[in-house]
């Protein structure tokens, strides 16, 4: 669906529709299956926030020097030691994580007895990332064995509550072509549940006047670093360039927006297409509800991520209008943007661009 060549037309979700002919068709044999167990709903935000904060308190990132020091540690991102208490860690072994889960079960039983009684004393049910073993006796958190501890990065809501967490795996534990960041989520495990894909706030929107400017970037850790290095920046983060566009558009609807995804998007057609989809969605809403609001793309050189760029006092940040950004693209990335905008019936603020 991400390949445009040979497709019949673009799809509304940013992909491409292909029609495959001459595919043999046969009626499959119906095999009886077990009924799908009911989906476990996530616990209330108050319970999730309390549990994740306790996890970070009893298993902080500072317990593992490899997560703090060195070329890829938190300190290398530009954070100071006072900021490190915001992040937690998961032990690399299932046994270590099971012990952590048992402590958190006791925390829930003591502090949220009604929730614990709902699940017969196993109150960890409903917390994304946690699950029970096949015998429904021993609480577990995450899965598999790793060589290195996992960094836990919280995603805060508009009130500063932790609604979900992501994990950053060590490079040595990431298979080729797989993502380094994973949601702390367990929808396919026994009695587990999904975290969803929430967005992350470094500020409280109720205290930021309408008409102010916010920055949209990718990844909560990157947003935290940027907000720490540039205290005047109000940053909202999505977990991925293709994720949570509707949430981002709604959250930033009262504000001017600077979009600051990694600089390599210009060479990645699929990422460029998703950025174009976010731009179009936001602009189409602005035209309908608040035409005075603007959307710009942040430009810098010498670094891929805006957090790394912000560490250097020599970095010069400039803002590109939508048409300027389009003019900076070429080849397949530009083609992807044009196709998507044609499909969405979106035109940049100035004269229609040429093919």
CATH no. for 200-344: 3.40.1360
The secondary structure of 206-265 as a DSSP string is: GGS-TT-EEEEEE-HHHHHHHHHHSTT--EEEESSTTS-HHHHHHHTTTSEEEE---GGG
Structure token digits, residue 140: 């577990």
Contact (Cβ atoms closer than 8 angstroms) between residue 251 and residue 236: yes
pLDDT tens, N- to C-terminus, the chain (355 residues): 666 666 766 666 667 677 665 555 555 555 555 555 667 899 999 999 999 999 999 999 999 999 999 888 999 999 999 999 999 999 999 999 999 999 999 999 999 999 998 887 788 899 999 999 877 678 999 988 899 999 999 999 999 999 999 999 998 899 888 889 999 999 999 999 999 999 999 999 999 999 999 999 999 999 999 999 999 999 999 999 999 999 999 999 999 999 999 998 999 999 999 999 999 999 999 999 999 999 999 999 999 999 999 999 999 999 999 999 999 999 999 999 999 999 999 998 864 444 3
Strand pairing report for 213-218 and 256-259? parallel
Structural domain spans, the chain: 45-183, 200-344
Other CB atoms within 10 Å distance of the CB of residue 67: 25
Query: For the CA atoms of the chain, what is the radius of gyration?
Result: 22
Place of tokens 């905008």: 341
DSSP-assigned states of every residue in 64-112: SHHHHSSTTSGGGGT--GGGGGG-EEE-SSHHHHHHHHHHHHHHHHHH-
Q: Choose among 107, 155, 125, 102: nearest CA to 39.
A: 125
Provide the 8-state DSSP code for 60: B
At residue 354, the pLDDT reads 42
pLDDT given at position 353: 46
Largest CA distance in the chain: 66
Handedness of CA 118, 119, 121, 123 (dihedral sign): negative
The pLDDT of residue 178 is 86
Four-way CATH pick for 45-183: 1.10.260, 3.40.50, 3.90.980, 2.60.40: 3.90.980
| Rounded alpha-carbon distances, angstroms, from residue 254 to 197, 205, 208, 250, 285 | 22, 9, 10, 8, 11
Same topology for domains 45-183 and 200-344, yes or no? no
Residue whose C-alpha is closest to residue 124's, from 148, 150, 97, 153: 97
């Amino acid at each position: 669906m991400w390949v445009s060549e040979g497709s019949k037309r673009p799809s509304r979700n940013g992909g491409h529709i292909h029609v495959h002919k001459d595919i043999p068709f046969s009626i499959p044999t119906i095999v009886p299956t077990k009924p799908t167990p009911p989906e476990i709903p996530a616990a209330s935000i108050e319970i999730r926030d309390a549990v994740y904060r306790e996890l970070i308190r009893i298993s902080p990132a500072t317990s593992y020097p490899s997560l703090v020091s060195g070329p890829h540690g938190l300190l290398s991102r530009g954070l100071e030691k006072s900021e490190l208490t915001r992040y937690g860690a998961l032990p690399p072994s299932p046994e270590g994580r099971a012990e952590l889960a048992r402590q958190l079960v006791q925390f829930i039983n003591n502090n949220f007895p009604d929730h614990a009684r709902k699940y017969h004393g196993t109150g960890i049910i409903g917390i994304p990332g946690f699950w029970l073993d096949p015998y429904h006796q021993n609480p577990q958190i995450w899965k598999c064995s790793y060589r290195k501890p996992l960094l836990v990065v919280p995603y805060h809501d508009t009130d500063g509550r932790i609604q979900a967490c992501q994990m950053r795996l060590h490079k040595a534990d990431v298979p080729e072509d797989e993502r380094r960041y994973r949601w702390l989520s367990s929808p396919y495990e026994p009695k587990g549940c999904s975290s969803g894909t929430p967005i992350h706030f470094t500020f409280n929107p109720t205290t930021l006047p309408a008409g102010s400017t916010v920055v949209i970037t990718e990844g909560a850790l990157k947003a935290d670093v940027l907000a720490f290095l540039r205290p005047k920046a109000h940053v909202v983060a999505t977990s991925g360039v293709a994720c949570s566009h509707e949430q981002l558009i709604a959250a930033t609807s009262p504000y001017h927006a600077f979009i600051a995804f990694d600089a390599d998007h210009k060479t990645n057609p699929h990422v460029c297409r998703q950025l174009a989809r976010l731009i179009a969605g936001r602009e189409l809403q602005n035209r309908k509800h608040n035409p005075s609001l603007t959307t710009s793309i942040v430009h810098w050189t010498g670094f891929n991520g805006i957090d790394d760029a912000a560490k250097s006092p020599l970095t010069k940040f400039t803002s590109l209008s939508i048409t300027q950004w389009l003019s900076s693209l070429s080849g397949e990335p530009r083609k992807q943007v044009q196709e998507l905008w044609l499909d969405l019936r979106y035109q940049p603020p100035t004269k229609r661009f040429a093919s």
